[in-house]
Amino acid sequence: MKFTLITLFPDEISSSISFGILGRAIKNKVIEVDYISLRDYSDNKYQSIDDKPYGGGPGMLIQAEPLIKAINKVRSESNKNIPVIFLTPQGKLFTQKTAKAYSQINQLIIVSGRYEGFDERVHELVDNSSEISIGDYVISGGEIATAVIIDAITRLLPGALGDENSAKQDSFSEGLLDYPHYTRPEEVEGIKVPEVLLSGNHNAINQWRFKQSIGKTFDKRPDLIKKRNLTDEEEEILNEYIKDNKE
Ligand code: SAM
């Protein structure tokens, strides 16, 4: 999958995606990342791409024209109407489901904002574009958000993870949180690893894990349980979890 990133600070993104799973995914060509410096699309000798907001107020805004030029150039080079993400805290919330949907396409343009954001007209003028937010808070620029989005999508691409099952069991992938994990030693300050995990009985381990997954989701994120509409069997498993944890 190819990511084309339009940004004022390419180094901030490249330094965040050069390590571990993402670094390997780039090296092994699971993903390709191209950086477009927005300043190259400025129409003045100072290479400025921002200006003051009409109506006054604090901060500067990224101008529509350099952005549109940059997007058109990328699209015309590939001869495709590549989807565009504009990063903004006002956008649709990025979730595991969004990551899954984007992991099915071949190329994506991601635009990082800075200052007070973008001239509003870009959203009308750039077709096949979406406003995406990584959460209900404001950070100083879209570069960190871009790295988050690339990371979440890349984990879902074949060849990115050592074991593809890890993405399948990750929290949110099936609408539930991941089950609890334990490693050596068997006892830490009086707390033992649940017996079943030492039993070697894979059927029992899988059942325990599913029960924990439903139960932990109920405890920590009841909103996800409501959204999932549990089957009768899952309802029964959750009731067992609640009973186990009362005793
Ligand atoms: N004035 C804007 C607002 O309140 O909606 C915030 C601008 S923010 C300081 C600068 C840039 O950071 C945004 O244009 C966007 O690209 C990025 N950004 C900030 N918070 C974000 C979030 N939660 N999700 C995605 N991008 C974000």
The SS3 of residue 168 is helix
Residue nearest to atom 7 of ligand 1 (CA): 116
Catalytically active residues, by annotation: 89, 116, 155, 170
User: Residue 241 contacts by C-beta under 8 Å, 6 or more apart in sequence?
Assistant: 211, 212, 214, 215, 218
Confirm whether 163 is domain-assigned.
no
Domain that holds residue 33: 2-154
Number of domains in the chain: 2
Looking at 121, 154, 187, the residue that finishes a domain is 154
82-132: pLDDT as tens digits = 999 999 999 999 999 999 999 999 999 999 999 999 999 999 999 999 999
- Residue 65 parent element (H or E): helix 64-78
CA of 135 to the centre of ligand 1 (A): 10
Same domain, residue pair 59 and 114: yes
d(CA 142, CA 178): 28
The 10s digit of each residue's pLDDT in 135-181 is: 999 999 999 999 999 999 999 999 999 888 888 889 999 999 999 99
- Give the nearest ligand 1 atom to 133 CA: 24
Whichever domain contains 112, its CATH number is 3.40.1280.10
Both 148 and 190 in one domain: the answer is: no
Contact residues of ligand 1, CB 6 A cut-off = 87-90, 112-114, 116-117, 133-135, 137-142, 145
Q: For position 169, what pLDDT does the model report?
A: 87
Q: Does residue 184 share a domain with residue 77? A: no
Helix (H) or strand (E) holding 235: helix 232-246
